[in-house]
Amino acid sequence: MSSQAARSGAVTAAKIRAPKRPAGTLYRGREGMWSWVLHRITGTAIFFFLLVHILDTSLIRLDPEAYNAVINTYKTPIMGLGELALVAAIGLHALNGLRIIAIDFTSWGVRHQRLMFWIAIGLWVVLMIGFAPRHLMHVFGGE
């Protein structure tokens, strides 16, 4: 390498400032990464609920009283809040899942993946505003 090229390289390098804080990349720390994190966490939570839910529903084949006893625990305040969290997790997983499909199968989706993340969050908020009050009334409203 000639000394001239080395010097011009140094000049160029000086213009690019090192970030003061550790900066993310196009992916890291941004919507793409966080949607991936949320997808894994919500997916895992839903999976473990599904295991329990298949087992508790199976009581329907064995003993009506046992089934009623277990399902009555689903109507308690703590489980009621758990169901709210479950629906929240399912809503996020479903909406972000549709976003992933749009990204995987269309070039439009790749270009607008960030916008679609916020659309999914917006639809999720609307979904929860629609579901939460009614569900909480069912759980806390008495008979």
Partner 1 sequence: MTTETIQPPRSAARARRGTNWEKWGWIYMRFSGVLLVVLIFGHLLVNLFLGQGVSAIDFAFVAGKLANPFWIVWDTLLLWLALIHGANGMRTLTNDYAHGKLRVVLLVLLAGATVVLLVLGTLVLTTFDPCIGEPTGALVEICK
Q: Point out which residues bind partner 1 (CB under 8 A).
A: 40, 43-44, 46-47, 50-51, 54-55, 57-58, 60-65, 67-68, 71-72, 74-75, 80, 83, 87, 90, 94, 97-98, 100-101, 104-105, 131, 134-135, 137-139, 143
CB of 20 to partner 1, least distance (A): 32
CB of 16 to partner 1, least distance (A): 34
* One-letter-per-residue 3-state SS of the chain: CCHHHHHHHHHHHHHCCCCCCCCCCCCCCCHHHHHHHHHHHHHHHHHHHHHHHHHHHHHHHCCHHHHHHHHHHCCCHHHHHHHHHHHHHHHHHHHHHHHHHHHHHCHHHHHCHHHHHHHHHHHHHHHHHHHHHHHHHHHHCCC
Which residue's CB is nearer to partner 1, number 6 or number 137? 137
Which residue's CB is nearer to partner 1, number 9 or number 133? 133
CB of 53 to partner 1, least distance (A): 10
CB of 93 to partner 1, least distance (A): 9
